[in-house]
Amino acid sequence: MKNNFFIFHLIVNNDVYMPDNGYECYYAFVIISTNEESARHMAQLNGGEEADDYLDLNNKRHKCPFWTDKSKTSCMKCGVSYIKEEMILESSFNSG
């Protein structure tokens, strides 16, 4: 069975808290994926400080749901992709 690939645009919703004044955070992704869930997962795995929210007592960093949380981010399917491979095409990063 052949998978269809789509272009997804993910953005941070208005008035969402961003750690460290938004420095070292991603604000948007353009991703080729087969579905929204996979696109959100790719963004979450590649996110910055917005997804790496805290350290535990052993100094181990824990990922917090951000790009997978629909209350914090929006995901729009923009169209069909002629590229038949999941990948991040573009990201918007605030390096401070």
3-state SS string over 17-85?
CCHHHHCCEEEEEEEEECCHHHHHHHHHHHCCCCCEEEECCCCCEEECCCCCCCCCEEEEEEEECCCCC
Residue spans of the domains in the chain: they are: 6-10+31-94
pLDDT confidence of residue 18 = 87
Tokens of 86: 């999941």
Residue 3 pLDDT grade (very low, low, confident, very high; cuts 50, 70, 90): confident
CA neighbor of 28 nearest in space, from 63, 62, 78:
78
pTM of the predicted model as reported, rounded to 2 decimal places? 0.87
How much is the mean pLDDT over the chain?
Answer: 90
pLDDT confidence of residue 53 = 62
> Which residue bears the tokens 């790719």?
42
* pLDDT of 63 strictly over 70: no
